[in-house]
């Protein structure tokens, strides 16, 4: 019997930490060598877990059951399975909980036991502490990264200052505002006024002859 008791402290509010810890896909992505498969009607998952013990890498095909209580931020994980040859069987369970350590930090506590029987039982038991320590560090780093990414504020959209025109494409016409038309209208009014004066002057000259 291998006992597992770990405590992980990360920067993040308990509710946000719980959202990740209670998500099977998120947890699986934080465990090296773990691949979560299909979910069955009873809520359990198929999973493959590859673990390296010394110079030997063992791959287990397992069934994982997860029960969570969102109100208390606690849960229980149960696992059963065997290696690819069926010579070594594994089974166990662990309780986990998320607690606040201060307003912006949280602790994730694991407490469980793993039972291994078969050909590789002695080898796995002898290297269990090293493997558990390595997996805990990897999980902590991954969890911290997910929390950091989730707290990065979205960058506000930068809007170009209004210029009095709207160009939709490279070939689209420019739509001018009324304010842009005023100089053009003033110029035309002046032209008409000058033309009117010239016509009146010419008419006056003809009248004198």
Listed in sequence order, the residues at least 6 apart from 138 whose beta carbon sits closer than 8 Å to its beta carbon are: 30, 31, 32
> What total of structural domains would you count in the chain?
2
Residues 140 and 49 in one domain: yes
Determine the pLDDT at residue 169: 40
Domain that holds residue 46: 2-150
Residues 22 and 88 in one domain: yes
Determine the pLDDT at residue 20: 93
Residues 146 and 169 in one domain: no
Q: Which of 123, 150, 177 is the endpoint of a domain? A: 150
Let me know if residue 196 belongs to a domain. Answer: yes
Helix boundaries (H) for the chain: 14-21, 24-29, 121-150, 178-208
Residues 145 and 187 in one domain: no
Residues 189 and 101 in one domain: no
Residues 185 and 114 in one domain: no
Residues 45 and 102 in one domain: yes
Return per-residue pLDDT of the chain as tens, 209 residues: 888 899 999 999 999 999 999 999 999 888 888 888 888 988 899 999 888 877 778 888 999 999 999 999 999 999 999 988 888 899 999 999 999 998 889 999 999 998 888 887 887 788 888 888 888 899 999 999 999 887 655 445 454 454 444 443 444 444 443 444 444 445 556 656 665 666 566 666 555 55
Please report, for the domain that includes residue 118, its CATH number: 3.30.530.20
Residues 203 and 174 in one domain: yes
Residues 53 and 130 in one domain: yes
Residues 143 and 184 in one domain: no
> CA gyration radius for the chain?
37
Cα separation, 97 vs 75, whole angstroms: 6
Residues 140 and 202 in one domain: no
């Amino acid at each position: 019997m291998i006992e597992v008791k770990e405590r992980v402290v990360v920067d993040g509010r308990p509710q946000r930490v719980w959202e990740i810890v209670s998500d099977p896909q998120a947890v699986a992505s934080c465990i090296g060598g773990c691949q979560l498969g299909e979910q069955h009607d009873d809520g359990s998952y198929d999973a493959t877990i590859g673990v390296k013990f010394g110079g030997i890498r063992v791959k287990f095909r397992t069934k994982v059951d997860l029960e969570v209580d969102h109100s208390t931020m606690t849960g229980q994980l149960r696992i059963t399975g065997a290696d690819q040859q069926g010579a070594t069987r594994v089974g166990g369970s662990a309780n986990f909980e998320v607690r606040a350590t201060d307003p912006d930090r949280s602790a994730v506590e694991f407490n469980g036991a793993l039972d291994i029987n078969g050909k590789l039982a002695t080898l796995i038991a002898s290297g269990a502490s090293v493997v558990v320590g390595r997996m805990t560090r990897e999980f902590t780093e991954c969890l911290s990264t997910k929390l950091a990414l989730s707290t990065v504020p979205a960058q506000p959209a930068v809007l170009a200052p209004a210029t009095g025109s709207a160009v939709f494409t490279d070939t689209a016409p420019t739509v001018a505002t009324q304010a842009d038309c005023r100089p053009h209208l003033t110029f035309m009014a002046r032209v008409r006024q000058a033309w009117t004066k010239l016509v009146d002057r010419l008419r006056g000259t003809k009248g004198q002859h």
